[in-house]
Amino acid sequence: MPITEFLERNASQYGSDVCLVEVNPDIQEKKRMTWREFELIQQTTMTHYRREITWHVFNEKANRFANLLTERGIRKGDKVAILMMNCLEWLPIYFGILKTGAIVVPMNFRFDAEEIEYCLKLSEANALIFGPQFIGRIEEKEEIISRNCWLIYAGRDCPMFADSYDELTANCSSHYVGPELTDADDAAIYFSSGTTGFPKAILHNHESLMHSAKTEQMHHGQTKDDVFLCIPPLYHTGAKMHWFGSLISGGKAVLLKGVTPKTILETISNEKCTIVWLLVPWAQDILVALESGQLHLEDYELSQWRLMHIGAQPVPQSLIKRWKEVFPHHQYDTNYGLSESIGPGCVHLGVENIHKVGAIGIPGYGWEAKIIHQDGTEVAQGEVGELAVKGPGVMTCYFNNPEATAEVLHDGWLYTGDMAEQDADGFYYLVDRKKDVIISGGENLYPVQIENFLSQHPAIMDVAVIGLADERLGEIAAAVIEVKPGMSLTEEEVNEFCLGMPRYKRPRKIIFTKVPRNATGKIEKPRLREMYNSTNLVEAQNMA
């Protein structure tokens, strides 16, 4: 069953219900409204920064775009790329592409012109729809891109080298009858983070998309009454697959453009959000703002907020302990996944397992997991090895890259590249990325373990541990530390705190600076290693 059938069902059964809301905090911030003031004028003057659509309109927009693509020769198996910031049009465009049987290709909005050209060529994209923020980048490569790729522009003031989405879809029918779709049909190409060079293209079929929706709904029990706050970029599997829980239940979702602790809490309050997926930095920022007195809980209506869950990177236990002290009524879950496993959920903690905070959890709905040696055999319980997962959401392949596919897919098992261990109760704990393990004097150091320890220090906002080359030991552990606003911390104080760790695990270098994270919250460790190696260290310290 293709996931588009959920959209058509929702349009039929809940057509007049609001399904998507877009909130622009930049404009909202200027209004400086409390949630009570918001309620009073929501129906009159809020439309200039708050937009919404119903399930009926959502489906009509998807149908119009599907008709446009079909009229222009896009057929089942073709590829249509999306390069847009989060907005109300994003998901209808995504579903319009799926309805035609074409393969949707979401693209990272951080891609530069070279990466855009590379990914369009790699995915063999027949069309690209892009937003106003990307005119310059597309124009830079337009002569090359447009040879094989139809350019569609979504926004005002359409550039000369593209066709206008608004003008063309306005003349298309709001009814669409497309080709028959099956679970085995190709559906989407997502791109890897590209931390080791240019990204790889990850191909998923319709079964993957459908299973991600079922997994999300099974894990978090979304109902028609739930309101999901979506903050991360929709090009990423994490945000979209969590939204699939709203799709399958017919519930409402809110797209928040821009992130500060104040706008997050305001939006949760104003829109009566019940489920919020946060990245570690955003949760940290909210706690700091509340603990410092910058924000006050009593200024917001948050009683309806039932679930906070985190994914995309390891979660410090100390962070969740602090969170539960501030929000004791919240259910909490953490979700583990990769784009290769259609995003979050192949392993998850489960809201009933709060006593196991620190673990990534147990296999998710419909998933299997195991920990293996390098030769593929399973390790003994309690030993560290590579995590492998198997289930209906595993990718079909790395598109046009059989060598890379063969490295990670083995008899249906996806080798994740993450090192993990399992406790006696069957819960999995991430130890680190395979490529991030530090070998110092013959000892394996797992940066995540050191980061978890350091994150307990009351003055540390964020921390990343990386390996730096060392003549004697091969590598040493370096801790890149971001201090909380208004607090101070010295190298001596960090070293004293680290006396609570075994000697061989203690970082031998302390660097105070901001910890860089990408759009999905992952620490950019390749960038840090490049910045702080022996040749670039002085320059990097000057930048810090």
DSSP string, 39-105: HHHTTTTGGGTEEEEEHHHHHHHHHHHHHHHHHTT--TT-EEEEE--S-TTHHHHHHHHHHTTPEEE
Lowest mean pLDDT among 117-131, 143-157, 227-241, 517-531: 517-531
| Mean pLDDT, all residues of the chain | 88
Please tell me the distance from the alpha carbon of residue 145 to that of residue 143, in angstroms, as a whole number.
6
Domain limits, the chain = 437-543
Cβ neighbourhood burial of 136 (10 Å; 0-12, 13-18, 19+): exposed
Please tell me the distance from the alpha carbon of residue 194 to that of residue 182, in angstroms, as a whole number.
30
3-state secondary structure of 157: coil
Question: Which CATH number applies to 437-543?
Answer: 3.30.300.30
**Structure pTM?**
0.81
Distances (CA, A) of 450 to 137, 334, 357, 381, 502: 40, 20, 17, 22, 10
**Residues 240-288: pLDDT tens digits?**
889 999 999 999 999 998 789 999 999 999 999 999 998 877 888 899 9
User: Using alpha carbons only, how large is the chain's radius of gyration in Å?
Assistant: 23
What is the rounded average pLDDT of the residues 22-43?
52
pLDDT of residue 431: 79
Which of 202, 187, 19 shows the shortest CA–CA distance to 108? 202
Q: pLDDT grade, residue 45 (50/70/90)?
A: very low
Task: Enumerate residues 6+ apart whose C-beta is below 8 A from 458.
Answer: 484, 487
pLDDT at 393 over 80: yes
What is the rounded average pLDDT of the residues 365-376?
94
Q: pLDDT grade, residue 535 (50/70/90)?
A: very low
235 touches 109 (CB < 8 A): yes
**Residues 341-370: pLDDT tens digits?**
998 889 999 999 989 988 999 999 999 999
pLDDT of residue 112: 85
pLDDT of residue 36: 42
